[in-house]
Structure 1
Amino acid sequence: MKEINLDSSVYELITAYPEIQTILFDLGLKDIQKPGMLTTVGRYMTIPKGAKMKKIDLQAIIDQLEQLGFTIKE
């Protein structure tokens, strides 16, 4: 089972589950694929913070991740 803790950094999540990077990119977090962004900002950015910053509905991200087999721990 793939479990995501929303308090974990985006870097930690992508290190554990690399497919999350493409999922988040497709949902509107476009900066995640810029060179160096994951290893700098990604180390302290969480999915909720990124969603708020980019004005993306957090529930839409959670729903998509759950549809793809992830369990969300808040």
Structure 2
Amino acid sequence: MTEGELDLKRIDLRKTVYEICTAEPEAAGILKDLGFTSITEPGMLQTAGRFMTIPKASAMRKIPMERIIEEFKNKGYEVEEI
């Protein structure tokens, strides 16, 4: 592993939104900025977020996965795709 790889944060798209946002709190803000505005509503992360994955949310909200992946990469994340 190189020094730069140690700083890289990871997002695993197989995990639920709840798991991702719990491990990486910044992810909730990124998702909100992408159009997933309900993620910051009280209780939403605790309920729907426990079974919803980013790919499922992408399909529901019609936000292209390419755009989501690109935004996470721009914010310094490595995205583990399905």
TM-score (norm 2): 0.87
Deviations 1:27-52 (A, max 9, x none): 00011011100000000101110011
TM-score (norm 1): 0.96
Pairwise CA RMSD: 0.6
Task: Give yes or no for the alignment of 1:37 onto 2:44.
Answer: yes
Q: Give the Cα separation in 1 of the matches to 2:15 and 2:71.
A: 18
Of 43, 67, 71, which residue of structure 1 is paired with 2:74?
67
Q: Give the Cα separation in 1 of the matches to 2:29 and 2:11.
A: 15
Q: Letter of the aligned partner of 2:54 in structure 1?
A: I
Match of residue 47 from structure 1 = 54
Match of residue 30 from structure 2 = 23
Q: Where has structure 1 moved over 6 Å in runs of 4 or more?
A: none
Of 9, 27, 36, which residue of structure 1 is paired with 2:16?
9
Q: Give the Cα separation in 1 of the matches to 2:16 and 2:72.
A: 16
Shift of 1:3: 1.0
Percent identity reads: 47
Q: Give the Cα separation in 1 of the matches to 2:25 and 2:10.
A: 13
- Which runs of 5 or more residues in structure 2 are unaligned? 1-7
- Which runs of 5 or more residues in structure 1 are unaligned? none
What is the count of residue pairs matched by the alignment? Answer: 74
Q: Letter of the aligned partner of 1:5 in structure 2?
A: D
Specify the structure having the higher radius of gyration (Cα).
2
